[in-house]
Amino acid sequence: MKEIAVTLLGEKDHGKSTLIGNMLIATGSATKERVAEAKRAGGAGFEPAFVLDSFTYERKRGMTLDTTRAQINFKDAIISFIDVPGHLELINNALGGASGAEIAIVMVSAKEGEGFQKQTKRHIFIANMLGMRGIFIAVNKMDALGYRRERFDRIKDEISGYMEEIGFEGHIEFIPVSAYGNENIITKSKKMGWYGGGPLVGRIYDFFSAIGSAQTGEGTRMVVQDTMELGGKDAAMGMLYYGRIRVGDRVRIEPSGREAVIGRIHSNGKETKSTSAVRNIAVEFDGDAGRLERGDILYGKDERPWQKGRFTALIYMTGKPKQGSGLTLRFNNTDFRANRLEITRFSDATSAWKESKAGQRLKANTAFEGEVTLDKDPPVEKFSKYRELGRFSIYSDNDFCGFGIVR
């Protein structure tokens, strides 16, 4: 069965929660009991979004306060929707939600006075940074406009121009919908005969079926998360993200460059002769592999990391670094200090990149491109090939203030 993760982006009140609520109801993915409970809680003011919002406090406020995940069954797939708040003050939640999916729905209200707003531009900018391979623009509330085409075309032209300006390279598709009326969501709407494409969920399903997973990296990559003693020998515990490991394989340990031979493999509490990605494993080595550290990476014996300790990065700052505090970059739960950050370009995430000036400072809600030098030489990989090994979070004095990817 296919598993498809979809991030839902957009401004407050543009219809994200209503969309998910109606999808849950229409596909039978919400139990009758949950729908009935939501209707009782909502009373005369029931909205489809109430099926998603589990807490009375949220219903009374009329807004979704935190990242929410919901699943629907569609054909031979389970589609997980990650509803991230559109409010600027909750952008950290949006980043956490966006980083886990390769496809995004961007909700944009077609109503006059709403439309394509600054917050949505930032969400699209971030989605582009995170390597979203497909963005589906759901132009919502078409029912409020009598399902007329003119407003849809204006929004499509505006967003297309912005996507070109920021250099979006993935697939983009525009679909007119009414989340409240369940039009062009699961089934094709008869009220918008001028639209020649398919309904939203079906187009996402078809796109994912065509492209599959974004895993493009080759070879072996196992990130060491801890060490322990097994049978009197040191063993490395961690996540095998790419490739296959077999007993007897010679591997290279980076950043030290030492080589070692796999002696035993433990997976799911059992010993095995080989295992493949993606899973947590523990490996013992024949002979002395030397001291392993958290954050070390096991490669195939003839493989090398793309870079060590110095790389070009795209960074998005959600907050301003504290004065007098340096930046800490966290790769796979391992922290490294940034000794140097040489900024070359920046953007407010609502317009094109600009060349930086001397003395350019980091500030909130701004993206930067630059050269990063760490205090150590950990192996790093390009995000475009090894997603898990090419992204990092940023902290200032232990406070989260941004994220980045290795170019």
The per-residue pLDDT for range 179-219, each reduced to its tens digit, is 999 999 999 999 999 999 999 999 999 999 998 765 568 89
CA-closest candidate to residue 211, choices 74, 128, 103, 126: 103
Q: Which residue has the higher pLDDT, 322 or 232?
A: 322
C-alpha closest to that of 370 among 401, 326, 340 = 340
Q: What is the pLDDT of residues 263-279, one digit of tens each?
A: 999 998 899 999 998 88
Q: Is residue 327 a contact partner of residue 321, using CB atoms and an 8 Å limit?
A: yes
What is the biggest distance separating any 2 CA atoms in the chain, rounded to whole angstroms? 74
- The residues of the chain that CATH labels 2.40.30.10 are 221-300, 307-406
User: Which range, 54-58, 130-134, 242-246, has the best average confidence (pLDDT)?
Assistant: 242-246
User: Confidence band (pLDDT; 50, 70, 90) for 354?
Assistant: very high
Mean of per-residue pLDDT scores for the chain: 86
- Report the residue count for the chain: 407
The CATH superfamily of 221-300 is Translation factors (2.40.30.10)
Q: Which of 68-77, 91-100, 216-225, 397-406 comes out lowest in average pLDDT? A: 91-100
Mean pLDDT, residues 161-171: 92
The CATH H-level superfamily of 307-406 is Translation factors (2.40.30.10)
pLDDT higher for 323 or 284? 284
Which part of the chain has CATH 3.40.50.300?
Answer: 2-211
The alpha carbon of 270 is separated from its chain's Cα centroid by a whole number of angstroms, namely: 32
User: How many of the other CB atoms lie within 10 Å of CB of 199?
Assistant: 19
Give tens-digit pLDDT for 370-401: 999 999 999 999 998 998 899 898 999 999 88
163 has pLDDT over 90: yes
**pLDDT grade, residue 59 (50/70/90)?**
very low
pLDDT at 268: 86
Does the structure show a pLDDT above 60 at 290? Answer: yes
Neighbours of 377 (CB within 10 A): 16
Are residues 155 and 191 in contact, defined by beta-carbon separation less than 8 angstroms? Answer: no
Distinct helix (H) and strand (E) counts, the chain = 7, 24
The sign of the CA dihedral 238, 240, 246, 249 is: negative
pLDDT in the model for residue 89: 36
| H-run or E-run covering 406 | strand 399-406
Angle at 12 between CA 8 and CA 14, to 5 degrees: 70
Strand partners, 338: 374
Percent residues over pLDDT 90 in the chain? 58
Residue 232 pLDDT more than 90? no
Q: pTM to 2 decimals? A: 0.84
The 10 Å CB-count burial string (b at 16+, else e) for 44-80 is eebbbbbbbbeeeebbeeebbeebbebbbebeebebb
Give every CB contact of residue 327 below 8 A, 6+ residues apart in sequence. 321, 337, 338, 341, 394, 395, 396
- 102 pLDDT band, cuts 50/70/90, is confident
- pLDDT for position 214: 55
What is the rounded (10 degree) CA torsion for 268, 271, 277, 282? 80
Q: What is the pLDDT of residues 309-350, one digit of tens each?
A: 999 999 999 889 998 889 999 998 899 999 999 999 999 999
C-alpha span between 22 and 25 (Å, rounded) = 5
Instruction: Measure CA 109 to chain center.
Output: 23
Among 265, 255, 237, which Cα is nearest to 307's? 255
Name the class of domain 2-211: alpha beta
**Cα-based torsion angle of the residue sequence 336, 337, 341, 346 in order, rounded to the nearest 10 degrees:** 70
3-state secondary structure of 17: helix
Contacts of 164 (CB under 8 A, 6+ apart): none
Token duo for residue 66 = 């935190």
> What does the pLDDT read at residue 41?
65
Quote the percentage of the chain above a pLDDT of 70: 86
